[in-house]
Amino acid sequence: MKTSRKISARERQDAKVAWLMMSPALLVLAVIALYPVLRTFWLSLHEMSLKNPGSGYPFIGLGNYIEIFSDERAMTDILFTIQFTVVTVVLEMFIGFAAALIMNRAFKGRGLVRAAILIPWAIPTSVSAMMWKFIYNDQYGMFNDILYRLGVIDGYKAWLSSSGGSFMALVITDVWKTAPYMALLILAGLQMLPEELYESAKLDGANVIQRFFTITLPLMKRPLLVALLFRTLDAFRVFDLISVLTGGANGTESICVYAHKQLMSFLDFGYGSALAVLIFIVVFIISLIYMFFMGGDLAGDD
């Protein structure tokens, strides 16, 4: 049973000094982060369209949010975003875990392999999306050439002109770019595992598979949760990849792309801000779910 402990005067003084030292950073954070969020929320409660500035900016309360749930396009984009998030995060977790296990083993040239596998992650997303757009080209793309030489297809196909092909292209591109990031996070966790446990398991006669399921996987729960949290949030907020590779065509429009179009193309700042706030709320809820159900594993046990 835990007992309460009185806070000493020295600890109170240290706390005051800590808050004083952090206050400049908190002030800057409030200016560059908190104000835009509050401003966006304020705009979402008003009808504000630059196409009709003479109408003013009347307060409509939750009208924009109600419109979202009656907007078929918005609902379709949300469902697509969820589908994209689930598929890419699951694939990246398995591929990243496998790559991390390989990089964690001792072999000649391991440092070179670790550096090479991180190159896709280091490339800016817009650049990699443009590069893969050339790869998927229906006339001179390398993707078609490889599949044709392997006998998988009997002719070059316009992958980005169909719904299924566009979704496949987005998934492949996203997994190629961000699976190395997942591998990096998991590798950091693997390197913290005590080698003594594996030595003891070997002496007890446990094979590689048994050691993986009884030692590696249970002890890797915390790093995996952290990696999944980061990638889930990033995948749900996908924008630049879709904007460059497909432009949201063929049913590949994410909710972030739709919000950007409402703001920048349709100049509907009220409705676009409501979509942005909705994205923020969903991301916040995802974070809460991870922290609430798995917070003990993320924070560690005392």
- The CATH number of whichever domain residue 258 belongs to comes to 1.10.3720.10
In a domain, 12, yes or no: no
In a domain, 39, yes or no: no
In a domain, 14, yes or no: no
pLDDT at position 5, please?
Answer: 58
What residues in the chain have per-residue pLDDT under 50?
1-2, 297-302
Q: How many domains does the chain have?
A: 1
In a domain, 223, yes or no: yes
pTM attached to this predicted model: 0.84
In a domain, 30, yes or no: no
In a domain, 244, yes or no: yes
In a domain, 52, yes or no: no
φ, ψ of residue 243 to 5 degrees: the values are: -60, -40
pLDDT at position 300, please?
Answer: 47
pLDDT at position 298, please?
Answer: 46
Which residues constitute the domain of residue 111? 73-299
Number of other residues whose CB lies within 10 A of the CB of residue 82: 15
pLDDT at position 296, please?
Answer: 52
In a domain, 58, yes or no: no
